[in-house]
Amino acid sequence: MPRPTIEDNSRMSFRIRPDEKALLVRAVALDRTDLTGFVLRHALSAAKSVIEEAEHLQLSGRDSLRVLELLENPPAPNRKLLAAARALPKLR
């Protein structure tokens, strides 16, 4: 059965095994914080790391030089690129 659309996007809920919740509660007590803040802080940190890793491209020295070379001396456009450029809407 489909779930109803949630208008208010400020809440999240998820199921967790009792042993996992106990582990979180223990960590929260040691950190002297609340469960929501603890989970949110660590989840946001993990999310930022995942996004940074996904958006970061590390090139070797050889590949970096190749990219710079192509930027300074781009190849001539092929037939498909020219056709795609012609298919773009005209700017006013």
Q: What is the pLDDT, as a whole number, of residue 17?
A: 97
Q: What is the pLDDT, as a whole number, of residue 90?
A: 87
Q: What is the pLDDT, as a whole number, of residue 52?
A: 95
Evaluate the CA torsion angle 51, 19, 23, 9 in order and state its sign. Answer: positive
**pTM of this structure:** 0.57
Question: Whole-angstrom Cα distance, residue 49 to residue 18?
Answer: 27
Low-confidence ranges of the chain (pLDDT < 50): none
**Amino acid residing at 64:** S
Q: What is the pLDDT, as a whole number, of residue 87?
A: 95
**CA nearest to 12, candidates 33, 34, 36, 29:** 36
